[in-house]
Structure 1
Amino acid sequence: MDYGLLIIGVVLLLVSYLVAVKKQTSLLAGFNEKAIKNKELLGKVAGGLFFLPLGLLVVVSSFINYPYENAVLVSVMLVLLGGVYLFINRKLLD
């Protein structure tokens, strides 16, 4: 069991809750909040489609050791980030 990954996963789940449910979009770095059309949808997309699956994957990975664990985590993170980034830039920015 990897306690460092477990702590990171729990923090990601907490950020997911704060962004998706509590609409704390100020936690998201790199977005000009004036350029976003729908901040509620931004919170749902970033919190629910990026932080939540990534946090769950990191928590599960903290309990299970498997080969190429780091490569899998980085690959999944990049795919999720790319998808969310494209969605936000195409649908939510003016």
Structure 2
Amino acid sequence: MDYGLLVIGLALVLVSYLVGIKKQTWLLAGFNEKMIKNKSLLGTVTGLFFFLPLGLIVIINSLIDYHYEGTILVVVMLTLLTGVYVFINRRLMD
């Protein structure tokens, strides 16, 4: 059991709750607020479709030890990030 990954996973689930449910979009860095059409949808998409799955996967990886653990985690993270990035740029940007 990797306690460092467990803490990171719990932090990601907390950020998911704050961004996805409470709509605290100020936690998201690197976007121009004036170009986003719907900040509520931005919070939902990033919180529930990026941070939550990533946090749960990190928690599962902290509990289970298997071969190529790091590689699979990076591939899943980049896949989630790419999907959310494409959705935000196509649907939420002016």
On whether the aligned pair clears a TM of 0.5, the verdict is yes
Aligned residues between the structures: 94
Query: What SS does structure 1 have at the residue aligned with 2:29?
Result: coil
Aligned pairs for 1:67-82 within 5 A: 67-82=67-82
Task: Provide the C-alpha distance between the structure 2 equivalents of 1:66 and 1:33, rounded to a whole number of angstroms.
Answer: 41
Aligned-pair Cα RMSD in Å: 0.4
Q: Return the letter of the residue paired with 1:90.
A: R
Question: Residue 82 of structure 1: CA displacement?
Answer: 0.2
Is structure 2 residue 40 aligned with structure 1 residue 43? no
Match of 2:23? Answer: 23
Where do 5+ consecutive residues of structure 2 fail to align?
none
- Give TM-score scaled by structure 1 length: 0.99
Structure 1 counterpart of 2:64, which letter?
I
Q: Which runs of 5+ in 1 are unaligned?
A: none
Q: Aligned residue for 2:9?
A: 9
Q: What is the SS of the residue equivalent to 1:4?
A: helix
Distance (whole Å) between structure 1 residues aligned to residue 33 and residue 73 of structure 2: 29
* Runs of 4+ residues over 4 Å off in structure 1: none
Aligned letter for 1:44?
T
If the length of structure 2 is used for normalisation, what is the TM-score? Answer: 0.99
Deviations 1:14-42 (A, max 9, x none): 00000001101111111111110000000
Q: Cα deviations across residues 59-91 of structure 1 (Å, max 9, x unaligned)?
A: 011000000000000000000000000000000
* Greater helix content: 2
The SS at the match of 2:35 is: coil
> CA separation in 1, counterparts of 2:89 and 2:27?
18
